[in-house]
């Protein structure tokens, strides 16, 4: 988001950990490690029809830069 590219947490995985559902009564039968992995290890890049080619190119460059810096750690 520091590069002005909006991201959101995936609305999936362990829904009971999503902010909208934190206070909802629910029943879970045991831990849900795979749902937690999906929720914690996925990110969302929003796209919409008004994005220009220049905007998309910028996003691709920023994501490649991020992925490259993560691989060098």
The 10s digit of each residue's pLDDT in 38-49 is 888 887 787 889
Q: What pLDDT is attached to residue 59?
A: 92
Sign of the CA dihedral 61, 48, 18, 42? Answer: negative
- More confident call, 1 vs 19: 19
In percent, the amount of the chain with pLDDT more than 70 equals 92
How many distinct structural domains can be found in the chain?
A: 1
Q: What pLDDT is attached to residue 51?
A: 94
Q: Is residue 2 part of a domain?
A: no
Domain housing 49: 7-71
Contact assessment for residue 70 and residue 41, using Cβ atoms and an 8 Å cutoff: no
Give the SS3 label for residue 3: coil
Q: Is residue 36 part of a domain?
A: yes
Q: Is residue 40 part of a domain?
A: yes
Q: Is residue 53 part of a domain?
A: yes
Confidence of residue 69 (pLDDT cuts 50, 70, 90): confident
């Amino acid at each position: 988001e520091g590069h002005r590219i909006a991201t959101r947490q995936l609305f999936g995985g362990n829904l009971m950990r999503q902010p909208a559902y934190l206070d909802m009564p629910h029943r879970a039968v045991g831990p849900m490690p795979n749902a937690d992995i999906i929720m914690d290890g996925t990110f969302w890049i929003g796209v919409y029809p008004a994005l220009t080619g220049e905007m998309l190119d910028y996003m691709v460059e920023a994501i490649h830069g991020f992925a490259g810096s993560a691989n060098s750690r």
